[in-house]
Structure 1
Amino acid sequence: MSAFSLSSDGKLAITASETSSKNDFDYLVGNWNIRNRTLKEPLAGSDEWEEFDATQEFRQILVGLGNFDIFHTELGGKPFEGLTVRLFDPKTRLWTIYWADSNAGKLDDGKVGSFNGDEGEFFGREVVAGKDVIVKFHWDKRNPKTPIYSRAFSADAGRTWEWNWYSNFSRR
């Protein structure tokens, strides 16, 4: 998987795996049902989870150097949409994953990483619950018909991780 290190000024340095390629996300092309499980209060010592269903449409763009998906669900009784844009840099062999949603209306700073075989890891920084955290996305496509996405936060520079989101995919 991609590896990360921290520079003396706290910036993330990410290295691609040897197997990283522009085809890493090809398994997601098409339409999906998603069962989501999210930690209600990340980084608060909570063990209370919420579950909800969503759908997603995924397609390739830029002659395979990118892709996007649209995520649809209802949160708090209101429609919610998310947009993911993934771009592959053939020089570094790294993917950057950007997210925008109907609450914020803007792209985030992106998470960077790669796949090593059937598992991928992607890292970035965010402020969550007032804390500067490292975010890790994990994609598991060992069974490409039922892939799993998960997310974790680390408030201690990557020494420990709190897993706070799981998405289990099945074909529509």
Structure 2
Amino acid sequence: MSTAHDFDFFFGDWDVAHRRRLDFLDPDSGWEEFGATSRCWSLFGGAANIDELLVPEQGWKALTLRLFDPQARQWSLNWATERSGRVFPPVVGRFEGDGRRGAFFGDDTHDGKDVRVRFVWSGISATSAHWEQAFSLDAGRTWLSNWTMAFTRRPDPASSPRA
């Protein structure tokens, strides 16, 4: 069952390897790969957090604001980029079972088409995590993965041995 501390694993600094379709709706589209860094910090005693994603290779920044609803026992994930200056419609969901996989769903539009959006967090450990976005054009019957991020925790400079 989801708790206000589901994303505690994500606090800190990360290197991020992106793999993103050139066309989010075309299964035959090629992929682009690029790097980034991310920093996540806690708010509201763990019931909210923000991560800022810096993508210098492509010249943009983004953030995700995550909010835990204690009554519904679920999270809303709210993505924004400096390029658009707006918050995209949230995806809502929870972590299940052992808390190492979370699925979050919402509705949006892409290139003028209504899409169902799915974010999945998985592969969670002390040093790594995996995020995947997929779109559905048929209300969730079929999904097309269009963006993945592989997170690797950056070493804590305070814990590095001194020369």
Look up the match of 2:159. none
Equivalent-residue separation in structure 2 for 1:60 and 1:141 (angstroms): 21
After TM superposition, the runs of 4+ consecutive aligned structure 1 residues lying more than 3 A away are none
Shift of 1:144: 3.7
Look up the match of 1:114. 94
What TM-score, normalized to structure 1? Answer: 0.84
Matches within 5 A, 1:1-172: 19-74=1-56, 76=58, 79-116=59-96, 117-172=99-154
Identity over aligned residues, as a percent? 38
Equivalent-residue separation in structure 2 for 1:40 and 1:138 (angstroms): 20
Equivalent-residue separation in structure 2 for 1:41 and 1:153 (angstroms): 11
Shift of 1:75: 5.3
1:72-128: CA deviations, max 9, x gaps?
Answer: 00354xx21101100001110010011111111121221100001210000011111
Shift of 1:42: 1.5
Equivalent-residue separation in structure 2 for 1:123 and 1:43 (angstroms): 17
Ranges in structure 2 where 5+ consecutive residues have no aligned partner: 155-163
Letter in 1 for 2:48: G
Contact 2:15–2:152 under 8 Å retained in 1: yes
Equivalent-residue separation in structure 1 for 2:77 and 2:57 (angstroms): 23
Letter in 2 for 1:134: R
CA RMSD for the aligned pairs?
1.2
Equivalent-residue separation in structure 1 for 2:141 and 2:104 (angstroms): 16
Letter in 2 for 1:45: P
Equivalent-residue separation in structure 2 for 1:42 and 1:61 (angstroms): 32
1:24-65: CA deviations, max 9, x gaps?
Answer: 100000000000000111112323000000000100001111
Contact 2:35–2:57 under 8 Å retained in 1: no
